Amino acid sequence: MSATSAGTRSPSPDATRDATGGKPPALLVSEPQLGEDEKRALCETIDSGWITMGGRVRAFEEEFARRHGAADAAAVGSCTAALHLILAALDLGPGDEVLVPSLTFVATANSVLYVGATPVFVDIVSLARPLLSLADAEAKLTPRTKAVILVHFAGKLADREAWQTFARRHGLYLVEDAAHVIGLEGVGTFGEAAAFSFYGNKNMTTAEGGMVLARSPELLERVRRLRGHGMTTGTFERLLARHADYDVTMLGYNYRMDELRAAIGLVQLRHLDAWNEKRRVLRAAYEAELPRECPAVLIPFSDDEPSANHIMPALLPKGVSRRGVAASMREAGVQTTMHYPPVHQLSFYRDRFPDRALPVTEEFCDCEITLPLHPKMRQSDVVRVVETLADAIRAEGGKP
Ligand SMILES: *Cc1c(COP(=O)(O)O)cnc(C)c1O
């Protein structure tokens, strides 16, 4: 999500002007892929006369589950809602501590606060491997630690076996924030449950939306019930049933998905593999171009493990101002963003949890710049981005 305008780009000329009155850059960090098939699916849904929690939502859940090798799934309004529902369904609450990365979108930590539990920030392994550090997690365990939320940052899966062993040894729930890894083999198989996002800048989108996968059918059923005010039946089921009565058995929420978004999601799912493959090819182009033009720029995750390539993070050489580099790249028509401002340093969190130091996360976030990566790009765009980056570093007095 970060500060990007991508995914929310509006066709209205007024809305595409930024706060300074300028035009958005030609090459965006991310762009939603939407076309005629999505338009047709939306029109069919409107014509059907049934616009929320009906057959399309159910079909989307089934397709999504099948695509990820799961038995079932529950569609919700966002990944934030998915995380909240998972923690609520696991009965986490006041007094419980949940280990979370600070190198993530704020939603990961917010979901812990929603249930009244306490987020405990854990550092990353290294600049080259910016995933949650097992050693730091171990150091931050207390008798109150109940769960770990893993974020598969940038599209790379955390080490499944190591975290499963850790969770088993300490009696912790494992939860995946899978916002960056839609469609990647192995996601959703780590622990109790996984939360996915269909926000406009993710690998597939429903504009806003999310999904839950859970290991146990009972947990998924709890999530499903919590999603709709804890009601024992949904509107669609009541339409089909002979009796229109229902009961409420728990304090739930309105985190439902509607038929329009599910209709878009069904179309998007059909393209997901091709888009993720395109992302892989573009990432490979970056890995070829960057060392040639910008040998001083570090590329995290330069290994052969599979990735959903959600974003393209790069680390600027020491002493080079990211702000300056971003401004001159923007001037040259290339948008960049950052993933992420560390959550523990955001005012809200800093005020509540002072004196937290995460040296590796802080070093990573000081020099991270996110380069454009989305399936509408061509390899020639990658060449242009890298040349623009090299020029921008030079303009800042650095050596690319
Ligand atoms: C996008 C994102 C979220 C939030 O997703 P929403 O669907 O917008 O609620 C949570 N975690 C991570 C890591 C994300 O990238």
- pLDDT tens for 302-318 read 888 999 999 999 999 99
Average pLDDT over residues 350-360: 92
Q: Which atom of ligand 1 is nearest to the CA of 83?
A: 10
Active site residue ranges: 202
User: What pLDDT, on a 0 to 100 scale, did the predictor assign at position 15?
Assistant: 44
Average pLDDT over residues 316-321: 96
Instruction: State the residue range of the domain holding 103.
Output: 36-265
Our mutation pick for probing the ligand 1 site, out of 8, 105, 124, 180, counting the most ligand atoms within 8 A of Cβ, is: 105
Do the beta carbons of residue 27 and residue 372 sit within 8 Å?
Answer: yes
What confidence category does residue 235 fall into, taking pLDDT thresholds of 50, 70 and 90? Answer: low
Q: Which atom of ligand 1 is nearest to the CA of 82?
A: 9
Tally of domains within the chain: 2
What residue ranges line ligand 1, CB within 6 angstroms? 1, 78-80, 104-105, 107-108, 151, 177, 179-180, 197, 199, 210
Residue 54, domain CATH? 3.40.640.10
Are both 74 and 187 inside the same structural domain?
yes
Q: Which helix (H) or strand (E) holds 84?
A: helix 79-89
Going from the Cα of 112 to the center of ligand 1, the distance in angstroms, rounded, reads 14
Going from the Cα of 327 to the center of ligand 1, the distance in angstroms, rounded, reads 26
Residue 321, domain CATH? 3.90.1150.10
Our mutation pick for probing the ligand 1 site, out of 84, 106, 111, 199, counting the most ligand atoms within 8 A of Cβ, is: 199
SS (H, E, C) 86-129: HHHHCCCCCCCEEEEECCCCCHHHHHHHHCCCEEEEECECCCCC
Q: Whole-prediction pTM value?
A: 0.94
Q: Is residue 13 part of a domain?
A: no
Are both 191 and 316 inside the same structural domain?
no
Going from the Cα of 4 to the center of ligand 1, the distance in angstroms, rounded, reads 13
Q: How far apart are CA 391 and CA 381, in angstroms?
A: 15
Are both 161 and 42 inside the same structural domain?
yes
pLDDT in tens, 159-192: 999 999 999 999 999 999 999 999 999 999 999 9
Q: Which helix (H) or strand (E) holds 256?
A: none
Q: How far apart are CA 224 and CA 132, in angstroms?
A: 29
Ligand 1, atom 8, lies closest to the CA of 199
Q: How far apart are CA 326 and CA 369, in angstroms?
A: 8
Q: Is residue 242 part of a domain?
A: yes
Distance of CA 306 to the CA centre of its chain: 17
Q: How far apart are CA 175 and CA 165, in angstroms?
A: 14
Are both 193 and 294 inside the same structural domain?
no
